Amino acid sequence: MNLLMCPVCREQLKLSERTWRCVNNHSYDVAKQGYVNLHVVQHKHSKNPGDTPESVQARRAFLSAGHYAPLQHAVVEKIRKLHIENLLDVGCGEGYYTNAMQQEVMQCVGVDIAKNAVQVAAKLNQDVTWVVGTGATLPVLDASIHLCTSLFSPIPKQEILRVLKPEGYLMVVTPAPEHLYAMREALFEEVKPHEPHKFVEQLQDAFDLVDELVVDAPMRLAQQDLKNLIAMTPYAYKVKAERREALEAKDQFELNAQYQIYIFQKK
């Protein structure tokens, strides 16, 4: 089944050769890297929305080194147990998790607002339908998706409700309370634990929480890996330069990654 929706008229898109086209003849070409751009001008708030190229490359290098592999494995295991046919990864970034999740389903769509991230992702796995698009108008048809995933990404609740099938699932991965605590202590004067449970409260009117898991992953990072980790997080923009430089000067750094996985089912 073609899952993609025209962002202009909201009709189904069909792929012919290397062009996605709807019945109203709106058309979107597949780029040479293998993705399609469905983020139309009227939906844009800036010229180059989403992550910077520097952040994308840092994340690609860090994740490729396997530091977040325990989370990737846990996510794949959860998806395997759901026995679903398709999924939409909202905020897929450069595709590290999407690439692994695709192995467990028949159809997989990865969408991100950052074109430079999707360009990197499209090189990973041609069996994923990679899309540049916005969570404000998810580029898939109503009631077409078995599972939406949001890993460290925004959760466009109303759009997720629109695209999910009846009793479809939503997987949310977010920092658990102690995630990267040692690094945050080094970067900031005041550090508060993350509050993952806020997502349960935000979603409880429309979703039932059916499963949850906390994954701990201790890490010992070499200097370049530490630099990549800082660069790929929002902390890179918020920290004082002297604190960042002091941390990046360390040859090695020990810290704990801690992830909260929630699985919700649409009521």
Amino acid letter, residue 175: P
If one counts the domains in the chain, the total is 1
CA distances (Å), origin 263, targets 13, 211, 239: 29, 5, 32
Asked, for residue 28, whether it belongs to a domain, the answer is: no
Span 66-124, pLDDT tens digits? 999 999 999 999 999 999 999 999 999 999 999 999 999 999 999 999 999 999 999 99
22 is a domain residue = no
**Residue list for the binding site for S-adenosyl-L-methionine:** 68, 94-95, 179
Q: Are strands 129-132 and 164-175 parallel, antiparallel or unpaired?
A: unpaired
- Tell me if 6 is assigned to some domain: no
Q: Count H helices, E strands: the chain?
A: 10, 11
Identify whether 16 is part of a domain.
Answer: no
- 199: which 2 tokens? 């997502």
Residue numbers belonging to the annotated binding site for Zn(2+)? 6, 9, 22, 26
pLDDT (tens digit per residue) in 136-155: 999 999 999 999 999 999 99
In angstroms, how far is the first alpha carbon of the chain from the final one? 24
Mean of the per-residue pLDDT values of the chain: 95
For residue 173, tell me if it sits in a domain. Answer: yes
Please say whether the beta carbons of 95 and 129 come within 8 A.
no
Whether residue 1 is contained in a domain is answered as no
pLDDT at 50: 60
pLDDT confidence of residue 42: 54
Tell whether 62 is covered by a domain: yes
Q: Domain range spanning residue 251?
A: 49-266
Report the CATH number at residue 100: 3.40.50.150
Q: How far is CA 194 from CA 121, 183, 188, 199, 219, in A?
A: 28, 13, 14, 11, 19
Distances (CA, A) of 113 to 41, 78, 130, 134, 181: 12, 26, 11, 5, 28
* pTM of the predicted model as reported, rounded to 2 decimal places: 0.94
Residue 7 in any domain: the answer is: no
Pick out the residues of the known binding site.
Answer: 6, 9, 22, 26, 68, 94-95, 179
**Considering just the CA atoms, what is the radius of gyration of the chain in Å?**
19
* Residues ≥6 apart with Cβ < 8 Å to 30: 15, 18, 19, 20, 36
